[in-house]
A and B are shown apart, each in its own frame.
Chain A
Amino acid sequence: ILNVEQSPQSLHVQEGDSTNFTCSFPSSNFYALHWYRWETAKSPEALFVMTLNGDEKKKGRISATLNTKEGYSYLYIKGSQPEDSATYLCARNTGNQFYFGTGTSLTVIP
């Protein structure tokens, strides 16, 4: 099974709220897990690349954790701002191929 699944599909939060999304993936043949941020009318931009079980990465108010044994990663946004509105994609890297989830669409309401 190669599917990467993301939940929820979409999310609306109030400005200032903290939120989190889930990326689930098969734990076999794991090389890395990537997170991307994709704003409307732009291209996806890399947020994090995570390789080791227990990895935690942080960039400003956004952070991510990785559990390769159970096959999931969480992305957290603390104190959401309207500019955080975007689709957040995760991708599983297995050797030379990447398998993307369908993304979580976040809307932050001012």
Chain B
Amino acid sequence: NAGVTQTPKFQVLKTGQSMTLQCAQDMNHEYMSWYRQDPGMGLRLIHYSVGAGITDQGEVPNGYNVSRSTTEDFPLRLLSAAPSQTSVYFCASSLQSGTGFYGYTFGSGTRLTVV
């Protein structure tokens, strides 16, 4: 059982470049999400999806796009990288319960530096 798989683990981009962070889970979780983690800020939600074909914005969506064509995959696209997007990115997934969600399963993170 692989859980949540994120790739790549590290990436350096130049300002203006685009890239896609990959996230895949094999637990049949309906809910998937992307967070960024910055010093002193805690984890902040970028985008989330409650099922295939459905996505929505979180707290800090600007500069990022997502899609959810399958239950398993939830890629995060940086359209034109900016230094402010230097961060550690986590993908997380969860099953939905009757009143909310079960605990998240997190991926191992992607450390992105934009120069």
List A residues at the B interface (Cβ < 8 Å): 4, 31-32, 34, 36, 42-49, 51, 89, 91, 93, 96-103
Query: What does DSSP make chain A's interface, helix, strand, loop or mixed?
Result: strand
Assess A51 versus B42: contact at CB under 8 Å? Given A96-B48, A97-B48.
Answer: no
| Assembled-state Cα–Cα distance A91/B58 (Å) | 14
Chain B residues within 8 Å of A102, by CB: 40-42
Given known contacts A51-B99, A51-B100, A101-B42, A96 and B56 CB-to-CB distance under 8 angstroms: yes
* With A89-B42, A102-B41 as contacts: A46 and B105 at CB distance below 8 Å: yes
* Per-position binary interface string of chain B over residues 102-114, scored 1 when its CB falls under 8 Å from any chain A CB and 0 otherwise: 1111111100000
- Residue B79 at the A interface, CB < 8 A? no
**Total A-B residue contacts, Cβ distance less than 8 Å:** 62
Output the least CB separation between B88 and chain A (Å): 10
Q: How far is the CA of A47 from the CA of B45 in the complex (A)?
A: 20
Residues of B within 8 Å of A93, CB to CB, are 100-101
Q: Does B71 sit within 8 A of A, measured CB to CB?
A: no
Partner of A36, one of B56, B104, B109: B104
Interface presence of B33 (CB below 8 A): yes
* B42–A49 CB distance below 8 A: no
Collect the chain B residues with CB atoms within 8 Å of residue A47's CB: 103
Q: Does B13 contact A (CB under 8 A)?
A: no
For this complex, 13 residue pairs linking A to B, each with C-beta atoms less than 8 Å apart, are A31-B100, A32-B99, A36-B104, A42-B108, A43-B106, A43-B109, A46-B102, A46-B103, A49-B100, A51-B100, A96-B56, A97-B48, A100-B44
